[in-house]
Amino acid sequence: MRKTIIVSNRLPVKMMEQDGEYVLQASEGGLATGLGSIYREGNNIWIGWPGQEISDSKEQEKITAQLRQMNLMPVFLTEEEINNFYEGFSNETLWPVFHYMSVYARYEQVYWDAYYQVNKKFRDIVLSVAEQGDTIWVQDYQLLLLPGMIRAEMPEISIGFFQHIPFPSFELFRLIPWRAEILEGMLGADLMGFHTFDDTRYFLEAVNRLLSAKTTANVVNYNDRAIVVETFPMGIDDKKYGELGQDPQVLSNIQQLKDTFKTEKMILSIDRLDYSKGILQRLHAFELLLQMYPEYVGKVVLYMIVVPSRDSVPQYKQLREDIDRKVGHINAKFRTLSWHPVQYFYRSFPMEMLSALYNFADICLVTPMRDGMNLVSKEYVASRNNNDGVLILSEMAGASKELIDAIIVNPNNIGSIMTAIMEAVNMPLDDQQRRMKAMRQVVSKFNIHHWVKLFMDRLQEVNTMQQNMLAR
Ligand code: GDG
């Protein structure tokens, strides 16, 4: 029977240690939900790193057996591989360049070597289960070489690739010493997907200028194959967020928030710790507001959740310290006996708390410097069952191409973020509702299930086209 193989750096699973034993729990991230309908079916499978370094071979066998029951298959990484492939090349080379922060990028040969080797390790696991007629869908920037490596061994197999982060313009991409190898790796796929039209365009331009490939419209002709490159903006599980608003735990959390913030307007901010998310700029804008317009003192609260991430990488550590300092400064400067301007949390929260905040917050402030899509903005919209609330969204987030009824800002323009906050605080209800209704329609129509179906159907079509070309 033909099967579908999903490959991503991380498996959709959480591993927790309890009394010296690992307990595995399926994780509920957006991608896991969307692909759940695929990988749990029949003999389909999801291949990836389980998220922990496990060196003991007995332990590895045990975990492999447990994962196989969940249609998952592990790729175990050593500590050195995690350092050089994941934290190194993926997060210190590709991530900054692809997010237009090339000054943070490190071009280390050892990082590249590890990236190549680990992509090969993933290839070997894929090849151990892949059969002619199967469909393989590779996810994201940690595995850019994988499509090409699989293609070299299985010339006719159907391979899709989706990149969740931006693809940068040519002047950025060309900085990477291994740029041609990266493109060749990606072109092993039959169908390549990006969140936005610009990412797609930049990828095609890079291929055009760096490889001897011919591109016509959105098709690349390379090594006697035609590779289709298209835009697939990722959606969320909108129903889940709408329904969570009725969950008893969520309702009780909302009540608690109501009791705590009786008169203030709440501005919500949720991100992973990352310099691409514009967290400091957001704090600057909030400070400017309190400084220039003291009438807002005591009237607004910035509720800021920063989820710990990559904090062993130097720039992330530095960013964390800068945020701590800035929050401390704003609170010390503007607080009153009964009011704190910034409620800051450096940790993650359960879904029920997140949903309560999405439901309660008057404004959601999302101002990344660059973001492939940004799911938080969509989750806020999907949670607003009453059609009220205001979204302030950076024009640098992929989501801004769809959520055009948000207040759109340039995240480098601190003054305009401040003005947007004032506009949001004072926006009449009918204006809020008109905008929110329009955005909710988009989020519900182009949801995660739509995204998965669109990509998989298109991959099927492209594969048929490929087969016909080979037959000629
Ligand atoms: C990459 C791209 C693209 C956040 N805090 C908590 C929590 N979250 C969840 C949110 C949301 C997810 O994390 C964050 O997704 P984003 O899309 O905002 O950002 P990245 O993690 O950078 O994702 C991005 C995405 O891939 C998909 O293609 O949109 O551009 O960078 O779902 O809800 N979840 C829980 N507790 C928290 O405290 N449970």
**103-123: b (≥16 Cβ within 10 Å) or e:** ebbeeeeebbebbbebbebbb
CB atoms within 10 A of CB 138: 29
Q: pLDDT (tens digit, 9 = 90+) per residue, 290-340?
A: 999 999 999 999 999 999 988 778 889 999 999 999 999 999 999 999 999
pLDDT value at residue 39: 86
Region at 30 (left for phi over 0; alpha for psi -120 to 50; beta for the rest): alpha
Element at 60 (helix H, strand E): helix 57-69
Whether the pLDDT of residue 11 is over 90: the answer is yes
Report which ligand 1 atom has the smallest distance to the Cα of 371. Answer: 30
pLDDT band at 401 (very low <50, low <70, confident <90, very high): very high
| Tokens linked to 433 | 């509702």
Query: 303 or 28, which is more confident?
Result: 303
Q: pLDDT (tens digit, 9 = 90+) per residue, 221-241?
A: 999 899 999 999 999 999 999
Q: How far does residue 120's CA lie from ligand 1's centre (Å)? A: 28
- Once rounded to an integer, what is the mean pLDDT over residues 67-77? 95
Helices (H), 84-174: 95-98, 109-129, 146-153, 170-173
Q: Which of 31-45, 124-138, 271-285, 327-341 has the lowest mean pLDDT?
A: 31-45
Q: How far does residue 55's CA lie from ligand 1's centre (Å)? A: 29
The C-alpha atoms of residue 341 and residue 334 are separated, in whole angstroms, by: 7
Q: Whose CA is nearest to atom 1 of ligand 1?
A: 164
Q: How far does residue 95's CA lie from ligand 1's centre (Å)? A: 15
Q: Whose CA is nearest to atom 28 of ligand 1?
A: 164
Burial class of residue 69 (count of CB atoms within 10 Å of its CB; 0-12, 13-18, 19+): exposed
pLDDT band at 261 (very low <50, low <70, confident <90, very high): very high
Burial class of residue 409 (count of CB atoms within 10 Å of its CB; 0-12, 13-18, 19+): buried
Q: Are strands 135-139 and 72-74 parallel, antiparallel or unpaired?
A: unpaired
pLDDT band at 85 (very low <50, low <70, confident <90, very high): very high
Region at 395 (left for phi over 0; alpha for psi -120 to 50; beta for the rest): alpha
CB atoms within 10 A of CB 328: 12
The C-alpha atoms of residue 206 and residue 160 are separated, in whole angstroms, by: 19
CA angle 62, 64, 69 (to 5 degrees): 105
Q: Interface pTM (ipTM) of the complex?
A: 0.98
Q: How far does residue 402's CA lie from ligand 1's centre (Å)? A: 17
The residues with which 315 forms a beta bridge, in sequence order, are none
Q: How far does residue 23's CA lie from ligand 1's centre (Å)? A: 24
pLDDT value at residue 447: 95
The C-alpha atoms of residue 105 and residue 449 are separated, in whole angstroms, by: 35
Q: What is the pTM of this model?
A: 0.96
Q: How far does residue 426's CA lie from ligand 1's centre (Å)? A: 29
The residues with which 342 forms a beta bridge, in sequence order, are 302
- Once rounded to an integer, what is the mean pLDDT over residues 116-131? 98
The C-alpha atoms of residue 415 and residue 392 are separated, in whole angstroms, by: 14
Whether the pLDDT of residue 218 is over 80: the answer is yes
Torsion of CA 279, 281, 286, 290, to 10 degrees: 140
pLDDT value at residue 340: 95
The pLDDT mean for the chain works out to 95
pLDDT value at residue 412: 97
Q: Which of 44-58, 366-380, 432-446 has the lowest mean pLDDT?
A: 44-58
Report which ligand 1 atom has the smallest distance to the Cα of 309. Answer: 21
Return the SS3 of 208.
helix
Chain mean position to CA 334: 34
What residues does ligand 1 touch, defined as CB less than 6 Å away?
30, 164-165, 234, 270, 272, 305, 307, 348-349, 351, 354, 371-376, 379
Q: How far does residue 270's CA lie from ligand 1's centre (Å)? A: 9
Whether the pLDDT of residue 33 is over 80: the answer is no
The C-alpha atoms of residue 470 and residue 472 are separated, in whole angstroms, by: 5
Q: How far does residue 320's CA lie from ligand 1's centre (Å)? A: 18
Whether the pLDDT of residue 374 is over 90: the answer is yes
Whether the pLDDT of residue 28 is over 90: the answer is no
The C-alpha atoms of residue 436 and residue 299 are separated, in whole angstroms, by: 23
375, 376, 455: residue to mutate for ligand 1 pocket, most atoms within 8 A of CB: 375
Report which ligand 1 atom has the smallest distance to the Cα of 277. Answer: 22
Query: 25 or 440, which is more confident?
Result: 440
| Tokens linked to 312 | 């062993």
Whether the pLDDT of residue 31 is over 90: the answer is no
Torsion of CA 246, 247, 250, 256, to 10 degrees: 70
